[in-house]
Amino acid sequence: MSITAIKGFNDILPTESDRWQYIEQAARRVFELNGFSEIRVPVMEKTELFCRSIGDATDIVEKEMYTFTDKGENSVTLRPEGTAGVMRAFIEHKLYALDPVAKLYYLGPMFRYERPQKGRYRQFHQIGAEITGVNSPLADAQVLNMLVHFFREIGLDEPSLQINSLGCPDCRPAYRAALVAFLEERLGSLCEDCRRRFTTNPLRVLDCKVPGCIEATVGAPSVLDHLCGGCAEHFAGVRGYLDSTATPYSINHRMVRGLDYYTRTTFELVTGLLGSQSAVAAGGRYDGLISQLGGPAIPGIGFAIGFERVALLLGDKDFSRQPDLFIATMGAGERDFAFRLMHDLLNAGVRVEMEYEGKSLKSQMRRADKLGARYSVVIGGNEVASGKAAIKRMKDGEQIEVPLKSEDIRNMLA
């Protein structure tokens, strides 16, 4: 009996990993251009971290976390999201003492026990970024502009930016009361999950994708009508900065977050190309999270990008990296020469492949075609003796005679 992967845990094969590296490299370029530094935190944390940060009444904590007791009788959890672990490290290592204004980004796997579907798996991957120590809407606008820049960098203009404000602990209770009063009259039309959310986290009802719940909540009160003066001014500032940089956006007054720590600005980049799973990136401000986790009263804002969904949006574009040169040989002695030449070329930064097992020249050239090599060269006894060979450009057959030295070949291929 063969052993297969666990359901919802996927292999990333070489044909796909080229695409992933393309996304990762773009993220690093854009984020580091904006002054962000990478932080790497464990994939496993104490369960208490997520209960305190995410909230006991959220779907993630109640139903989706991979939680178990280890041999030391400690309750531990595979991280379901990245922000809590990053903020735990920020507090534990007192990064705020060096500078309360920190710009951090991360990449890696997250884990949730959900029903696997297109672009959503039980082990999934995120790219995230956080800014701490800044209350100004300028920080919100920079984060949003950076996120839009990232998608343009990888060639995606289609995901559109939607923003909202969730208010703060001062103004949200009045909105919650208005929403509860609205939902009480419609409980019979809500799905089972939303009837449970009604008592634990009523804002999440607005986030439900079940058609009946969407229809039942048409006309629900808008949080934007219940913002206090400070939150209204902050949201106006965010919009003003986005307008000043001509960043396109729309306001989605139904947008809420599944995590309890979000306040004020919240946002998503959404697409219609992935069915009901429309969000490819999401985030918001979390001004109370750091103090809630035992750190100083420092504000923060951040986001996470869904790696698998972004990869799907890139479609069938080929991200594989073809060899610059394929070396074919006529015999064992020439293979020894070719191996030394390949070694020198690789050290010079040229991507090279060669035949290892003495197959026919026709077979070797078929492999050069299969690998998509830009150029090929055939090395026989005459080439070894003269120290020169004709390098052929594969797309049109043009040949150029070049000395068989790494520097000369590299210059010709450049």
Q: Distance between CA atoms of 232 and 40, rounded to whole angstroms? A: 35
Using alpha carbons, select from 317, 236, 306 the residue that is nearest to residue 274.
306
Q: Distance between CA atoms of 180 and 186, rounded to whole angstroms? A: 10
Q: Return the bridge partners of 251, or none.
A: 163
Q: Are strands 250-251 and 263-270 parallel, antiparallel or unpaired?
A: unpaired
Which residues of 289-362 form beta strands (DSSP E)?
A: 300-306, 325-329, 352-354
Element (H, E) at 346: helix 332-347
Please say whether the beta carbons of 345 and 409 come within 8 A.
Answer: yes
pLDDT digits (tens, 9 = 90+) for 354-405: 988 889 999 999 999 999 999 999 999 999 999 999 999 999 999 999 999 9
Q: Distance between CA atoms of 414 and 405, rounded to whole angstroms? A: 14
DSSP string, 395-410: TT--EEEEESSHHHHH
- Residue where the block lists tokens 């209350």: 135
Domain ranges of the chain: 14-167+228-313, 172-226, 325-413
- Domain 14-167+228-313 carries which CATH code? 3.30.930.10
> Average pLDDT for residues 317-321, to the nearest whole number?
83
pLDDT digits (tens, 9 = 90+) for 164-220: 999 998 988 898 899 889 888 888 888 988 888 888 888 888 888 888 888 888 888
Q: Are strands 37-38 and 103-111 parallel, antiparallel or unpaired?
A: parallel
pLDDT confidence bin for 56, thresholds 50/70/90: low
- Residue where the block lists tokens 């208490």: 48
pTM > 0.95: no
Which of 150-164, 241-255, 260-274 bottoms out in mean pLDDT, i.e. has the lowest? 260-274
Name the CATH code of domain 325-413 (choices 2.60.40.10, 3.40.50.2300, 3.20.20.20, 3.40.50.800). 3.40.50.800
Please tell me if the domain spanning 14-167+228-313 has the same topology as the one spanning 325-413. no
Q: Distance between CA atoms of 161 and 159, rounded to whole angstroms? A: 7
Alpha-carbon dihedral angle through residues 163, 167, 173, 177, given to the nearest 10 degrees: -30
Q: What is the DSSP letter of 222?
A: P
